[in-house]
Structure 1
Amino acid sequence: MTAIAFLIGVLVLVIGLAVSIALHEIGHLLPAKLFGVRVGQYMIGFGPTLWSKRIGETEYGFKALPLGGFISMAGMFPPAPDDAEPGRKRSRFFATMVQDARDANAETLIAADDRVFYKLPVYKRIIVMLGGPVMNLVLAVVLFAIALSGIGVQAGTTTVASVSQCVIPASQQRDACTTGDPVAPAAAAGIQPGDRLVSIDGTPVETFADAAAIIQRSPGRQLSVVIDRDGSQQTVQFTPQSTDRAVTDDRGRAVTDASGAPEYETVGFAGLRAQEALVPQPLTTSFEATGQYIGTVAQIMSQLPVRIYDAAADTLTGQPRDANSPMSVVGAGRMAGEIAAVDAPILARVQQILALLAGLNVALFVFNLIPLLPLDGGHVVVALWDGIKRWLARMRGKVARPVDATKLVPVTFVVVVLLVGMGGVLFLADIFNPVQLL
């Protein structure tokens, strides 16, 4: 069953990514058609065509390599100027690439008349190019909303799951009570599993975290606790005992001192353990989560070469990879499979996979905004430069030629080679040294 669950998780992620890519391209397609640009193809994947169907002037289909998608717009670039010299100051290899790009672009201009991309106003070109990343951003917010508000976050509720019978300091690293251990305050007060905490020290509690915060900061101080038992409220008193607790960071990992020993802090202890449940969060949480992911992904992208190197070095040396290491599709699929295979309620696993897909859509959003061709951000930069060039020409009473972006094909080639190389490194790292969930 574990293997089947793993495969289901991988399949769900693959389908989710395919839908994300399809919606990304729809984000380009819809404004392009709205602005009157002739769109020849809408394809998911690259390479040989597996299936396609022409609807109107556009061919829709799937290609063999599901590594992305594209739409083919007429006149993506302006016609090459008559005095263009593609071979000047370039190697023959790059000159051929530039000429091939110009020839391919010229084919779309023959029957397109004025329904071409390069003739659109700058702001419309930017809307078309940003449509894809924005679609991923919207999808991320929707997925986070379903995961966090529709399903909820695993958290402790105010219902008591169990009551400790004694106080055992965390530093003693044992579970069984001994005759010398003091009785836990909650047990001494008569609190039972199934009781629901209503308020502590006059403060209503909505989550177990609220209750725990009051108890932990009140060692040695008597607290009045209102509980609900079988629909009837009653009040009990207990005094949290001072005990030590391991210090953890924001990811729940133990903090250690210079010698590697765990660090401890003194807190109040009552001996209550909460029932876990999926607690729906406010809708605004989806926007907060998306914003946090954007910041995290942007930081990773800004250090991408270093992080790729670290992933390769950790794989070669056998060191575990950083939790925030970039991943390939293989790594994301493996993580989805592991989430699906863990021993947890189905809804909890669905919630985590949806959150993973939301995070991947944030990554697609940020990645495509990198201002380099062939990424969407590169096309935005070309459109902006074209607008600035025309504005400067008008200021001088002249007419500027459209920016000939085919000259940037060599740069595009280098970027693609680097991306393929980095993807290959991550592909191998995700196979031989995957990022661990815990």
Structure 2
Amino acid sequence: MFGFGVLTFVIGLLISVALHEFGHFYPARKFGVRVSQFMVGFGPTLFSRQRGETEYGIKAIPLGGYVRIIGMIPPRPKIRRGPFRNIINQTRETAMAELTDADQGRVFYQLHPAKKLTVMLGGPLMNLVVAIVLLFISLVLIGTPQPTTKVDAVINCLPSELNAAGECPSGATTSPAAKAGLAVGDQIVSINANPTQDWDALVSEIDGAAGQRITMEINRADSTLILTATVADISTETQPNGYLGFRPVVELTRQSPLAVAEVIGQVGLATVQLIMDLPARLSNIVATAVGAEPRDLDGPISIVGVSVISGDVVAQESPASWRILDFLMLLASVNLALFFFNLLPILPLDGGHVAGALYEWGRRKTKSKRAAEAVDIAKLMPAAYVFAILLLSFSMLLIYVDLVAPIRLN
């Protein structure tokens, strides 16, 4: 099942990548721009087919994809001076070599900035749409694990007396639930005549009665029982805490559609925080790579690492609905991460092109002589190459760490 989970994730990732690229491809074609290639993956081509003026294909390394949109860089005179003139000139010459006489009026740099924004935002927005669909299926249609007021197991001692295996040693103090006669399958209906309609209400009643004697109304096999117990007081200085001694049944509970927006916000904040923390976490990644430190379980993870977790998710011993839920949530999180990461205003990411289109649009509102000119992103290519090299190096390091010290669910 582990291998099946990894394979299923890779297929899901390839579909997500293909939809991302389609988000660029479709509006570009609608605006008349020629798109010469639509590729899923990087490296050697495994399969390709020419349809019309576009080559469609799948490459060997399923870590991304691209569409080759003609005319991303506008024509300009050759730069004669400057430390990076060779890189800039070569980039422009390569882009110009793709143009044909029939491409006049069908190149990206001739589009209005609003259309450029539509093309470049299309990819990340497709990932957002995929994530929303997956989250809706997961949260609203399947539901998330929520503790209930039904007893799954009775813990026979106080939490401070549990051993490392989570078992009660002989001679341990009997828990209030065990003393009261609470049994597996019991439904706690109320405490001190206060209804406990959900887990939060039940916990509130127990914590509020720490150290006090309570009366519980119980449903057991279609019968109503009244049990009494003295709630153990395990409060801390800052948090009141009562303890009965039972583990609740956990069931999948369908959530409101608003939960989808909450998860998107949480993943967005987590992605931003992770990017900000990368310099601080880099030392642990390097140390883990050389075997000097254990892996930080809260640190960044590559697509290879996520595929390992996906294999663990599918292979775990739990109901099929739970495994499907975990898998869909994992794939949704990857799509959300792609959405937020690609919006970073740095070339060669989509966000870099978005920033260029916004700048061009703003400049058009001025009365300068260059207002109608397309933004020359070729001048930013040296910085883009540096970022690409750093990103590739970091990705390779992270993939290596995920191979030698993978994060596992167990």
Question: Structure 2 length as normaliser, TM-score?
Answer: 0.89
Partner of 1:89: 82
Instruction: State how many pairs are aligned.
Output: 408
**Aligned counterparts of 1:314 and 1:33: Cα–Cα separation in 2:** 46
Match of residue 297 from structure 1 = 271
Change in CA separation of 1:57 and 1:196 when aligned onto 2, cut-off 3 Å:
same
Query: Does residue 239 in structure 1 map to residue 238 in structure 2?
Result: no
Write the letter of the residue equivalent to 1:210.
Answer: A
Deviation of residue 335 (structure 1)?
Answer: 1.6
Q: Distance in 2 between matches of 1:202 and 1:35?
A: 67
CA gap 1:7/1:398 in 2 versus in 1, 3 angstroms: closer
Matches within 5 A, 1:30-45: 30-45=26-41
| 1:26 corresponds to which of 22, 34, 37 | 22
In the TM superposition, residue 133 of structure 1 has moved relative to its aligned partner by: 0.9
2:330 aligned residue: 356
Unaligned stretches of 5+ in structure 1?
248-262
Instruction: List per-residue Cα deviations over 1:166-220 (Å, max 9, x = no partner).
Output: x4351564744656735x4334444332122223334433433432332133123
Question: One-letter code of the match for 1:86?
Answer: I
SS at structure 2 position matched to 1:50 = strand
Q: In 1, Cα distance between the equivalents of 2:143 and 2:370? A: 60
1:336 aligns with 2:310: yes
Match of 1:268 among 225, 242, 248: 242
- Aligned residue identity for 1:196: Q
Structure 2 Cα separation of the partners of residues 352 and 328 of structure 1? 18
Paired with 1:293 and 1:411, the residues of 2 have a C-alpha distance of: 28
Q: Match of 1:324? A: 298
- Alignment CA distance shift 1:368-1:180 (3 Å): closer
1:227 corresponds to: 218
Shift of 1:309: 3.2
Q: Does 1:310 align with 2:284?
A: yes
Q: Report how far residue 377 of structure 1 moved.
A: 0.6
Match of 1:181 among 157, 173, 177: 173
Question: Secondary structure at the residue paired with 1:133?
Answer: helix
Is residue 13–residue 357 contact of structure 1 (8 Å, CA) maintained in 2? yes
Instruction: State the 1:47 CA deviation.
Output: 3.4
SS of residue in 2 equivalent to 1:199: strand
Please name the residue that 1:250 is paired with: none
CA displacement, residues 242-264 of structure 1 (integer Å, 9 cap, x when unaligned): 247xx8xxxxxxxxxxxxxxx99
Aligned-partner residue type, residue 52 of structure 1: S
Q: Structure 1 segments of 4 or more deviating over 6 A?
A: 263-266
Contact 1:149 1:280 in 2 (8 A): yes
- The residue that corresponds to 1:424 in the other structure is 396
* Structure 1 match to 2:10: 14
* AA of the residue aligned to 2:121: L
Offset of 1:24 from its aligned partner? 0.7
The aligned residue for residue 215 of structure 1 is 206
Q: Establish whether residue 132 from structure 1 lines up as the match of residue 128 from structure 2.
A: no
Q: Deviation string for 1:265-297 (max 9, x for gaps)? A: 773222222223323322222221121011001
Could you tell me how far 1:90 is from its partner in structure 2? 3.2
Alpha-carbon deviations, 1:382-401, whole Å to 9, x = none? Answer: 11222233333x2x477543
Residues 19, 126 of structure 2: 8 Å contact kept: yes
In the alignment, structure 2 segments of 5+ residues that lack a partner are: none
For residue 371 of structure 1, give the secondary structure of its aligned residue in structure 2.
coil
The residue that corresponds to 1:257 in the other structure is: none
Instruction: Label 1:217 to 1:321 Cα distance change in 2 as closer, same or farther (>3 A).
Output: farther
TM-aligned CA distance change 1:306 to 1:415, over 3 Å: same
Superposition deviation, residue 145 in structure 1: 2.4
Distance in 2, matches of 1:120 and 1:201, equals 70
Cα deviation digits, residues 139-160 of structure 1 (max 9, x gap): 2222222223333323322221
Secondary structure, in 3 states, of the residue corresponding to 1:303? Answer: helix
Counterpart for residue 252 of structure 1 = none
Q: For residues 164 and 399 of structure 1, what CA distance do their matches in structure 2 show?
A: 74
> Residues 109 and 116 of structure 1 are in contact (CA less than 8 Å); yes or no, is this contact kept in structure 2?
no
Q: Aligned in 2, Cα 1:102/1:205: closer, same or farther, shift over 3 Å?
A: farther
After superposition, the Cα gap between the structure-2 partners of 1:398 and 1:88, relative to the gap in structure 1 and judged at 3 Å, is: closer
* Equivalent residue in structure 2 for 1:64, among 52, 60, 63: 60
The verdict on how the C-alpha distance between 1:409 and 1:205 changes in structure 2, with shifts beyond 3 A counting, is same
Amino acid at match of 1:192: A
The CA deviation at 1:7 is 0.9
Sequence identity, in percent?
39
1-side partners of 2:169 and 2:78: how far apart? 86
- How far does the alpha carbon of each residue in 1:357-385 deviate from its partner, in whole angstroms, 9 at most, with x for none? 11111211121112111110111111122
Change (3 A) 1:90 1:164: closer
| Residue 260 of structure 1: aligned partner | none
